[in-house]
Structure 1
Amino acid sequence: MHATPSFTLQGLRRGFTATLPLGLGVFVYGLVFGVLSRQAGLTDLQALAMSAFVYAGASQLLAMELWGPAMDVAAVVLTTLVVNLRHVLMGAALAPWFQGFGPAKAYGSVFLMADENWAMAMGAYARGERDGAILAGGGLCVWVSWFAATAVGRVLTGGLAEPEAFGLDFAFTAVFLALLTGFWRGRADLPPWLAAAVVSLLAWAVLPGKWYILAGGLAGSLLAYMTYKERA
């Protein structure tokens, strides 16, 4: 029988510590955002405020591609929405864990939710962990890493004017590949993963913007749900 859900300082520390290796990866591609934000013309205050309150690595990096004097605000908003729609599913997965918590703990944890600490927390939940502060602690680690990297990236702009020359442009991809391996449970996971990959590539080839991200995610999720129902 699983323990009753709780929210403790010990859980907060455990979550922070467990996420430190991923936090280092976040720091690396956070440097890229710091560099790109200066190249896009953001002030120090704007870049730091964006990392503190938007706190969405993929969306912020994509926004920098669209940023400029003649940028289409609607395109930035829509792109951010599409990229972050996965958080609806991620939040729904946390519902059994957080339904007994008050608004401050639940919504505070959701604000700190990123792909890295969500993956770590869900793995802990599957192993029987019921301390909800695990998610918040991991999120705090990611937030600190992201915010600090933004500041450092701004300072180092002169030396890192071309992030790809140092391989930093691959850091974002590398972190997500590391997260993916942590979810592997066996051959049954392969069909949804392949479906997500194939649909993403097809959507990338025929659809404008970043819709391929949502299309691949929905395809993989739908197939995973269907196969789960068949095994249940």
Structure 2
Amino acid sequence: MAEASGAETRGAETRGAETRGGPVRFTRDGVRRGARRAVPLLLGLLPFGLVVGVVSIGHGLSLVEALGMSALVYAGSAQLLALELWSDPAPILAATMAAAVVNIRMAPMGAALAPWLDRLRGLRLWGTLATLVDHSFAMSMAEIRAGGRDAGFLLGTSLVLYFGWIASVAAGHLLGGAVRLPPGHPLFFGGIAAFAALLVPLWRGARQDLLAWAAAAALAVALHRLGLPLPLLGGALAGAALAAWQEIRGAR
């Protein structure tokens, strides 16, 4: 009797949890919905991809090599940094370490997406992680906060951005000198605008969110103006630390 009562209680708790949010799932509909939502963000990838394609020409990479690098590394800032370090012979260790430092921000992103990622296995998990970028992370976090339970949304968003990135790098490589834009050209603002727009769905209406973002931006700009290394990473850590402190203070 006691065992039966315990089983009924656990079953009721499970049904209640599923009623409130429902179980996390992975469906084709979710993948398609994420893909549709990601299409406008391709505008933000275009300038970076064009620049990477043009820079790769200057360092002697063929189209196949540039596309291979883009498909395997798939990180605009890390690719540009590696190309800047490119020489003959290539400093493989230095370029690898530099790319790792730039992309270390992906670790806390994966932790934040744990409500979805912890329910995935096999190709669904590793395919999602392999194509994860800032844009797909931001859109998926907004989806999670809105009560979304379909982890296919993240993969759909990431895949559109992944293939869009490769296409933009190919365009930059093929067009070559035709897309050599001067510094400060308005087209480069497309990337900045895309990242700024991602903050809108992430904002929960709380003032503390704005304080953390402002601190991250201020420190990143200050480090950049002072010529210090890794301004983006420093800003990100500062914003995360302030947000964590605010959460702990609020809990008390």
The alignment's TM-score, normalised by the length of structure 1, stands at: 0.90
1:153 counterpart = 2:209 = no
Equivalent position to 2:244, from 225, 229, 232: 225
Aligned to 2:118: 99
Counterpart mapping for 1:116-135 below 5 A: 116-135=135-154
Equivalent position to 2:203, from 172, 184, 189: 184
CA distance in 2, matches of 1:179, 1:50: 26
Structure 1 position 124, deviation (Å): 0.7
What is the aligned-residue identity percentage?
39
Aligned to 2:218: 198
**Could you tell me whether the CA contact under 8 Å between 2:34 and 2:156 is conserved in 1?**
yes
From the superposition, tell whether residues 77 and 155 of structure 1 become closer, same or farther in structure 2 (CA, over 3 Å).
same
1:81 counterpart = 2:100 = yes
Structure 1 position 150, deviation (Å): 1.1
Name the SS for the 2:55 alignment partner: helix
1:42 counterpart = 2:58 = no
CA distance in 1, matches of 2:162, 2:93: 26
Which 5+ residue runs of structure 1 have no aligned equivalent?
Answer: none
Q: Which amino acid aligns with 1:182?
A: P
CA distance in 1, matches of 2:117, 2:90: 39
From the superposition, tell whether residues 138 and 6 of structure 1 become closer, same or farther in structure 2 (CA, over 3 Å).
same
Aligned to 1:10: 29
Structure 1 position 172, deviation (Å): 2.8
1:62 counterpart = 2:81 = yes
1:24 counterpart = 2:24 = no
From the superposition, tell whether residues 200 and 28 of structure 1 become closer, same or farther in structure 2 (CA, over 3 Å).
closer
Q: Which amino acid aligns with 2:88?
A: P
**Could you tell me whether the CA contact under 8 Å between 1:29 and 1:171 is conserved in 2?**
no
Structure 1 position 121, deviation (Å): 1.0
CA distance in 2, matches of 1:128, 1:37: 42
**Could you tell me whether the CA contact under 8 Å between 1:37 and 1:47 is conserved in 2?**
yes
**Would you say how many aligned residue pairs link Structure 1 and Structure 2?**
231
Name the SS for the 1:159 alignment partner: helix
Q: Deviations along 1:134-180, whole A, 9 cap, x unmatched?
A: 00000010011001111111111131133547434333323222223
Query: Which structure's CA Rg is the greater one?
Result: 2
**Could you tell me whether the CA contact under 8 Å between 2:43 and 2:190 is conserved in 1?**
no
1:175 counterpart = 2:173 = no
Equivalent position to 1:142, from 145, 161, 172: 161
**Could you tell me whether the CA contact under 8 Å between 1:32 and 1:168 is conserved in 2?**
no
CA distance in 2, matches of 1:49, 1:108: 17
Give the alignment's Cα RMSD to 1 decimal.
2.0
The alignment's TM-score, normalised by the length of structure 2, stands at: 0.84
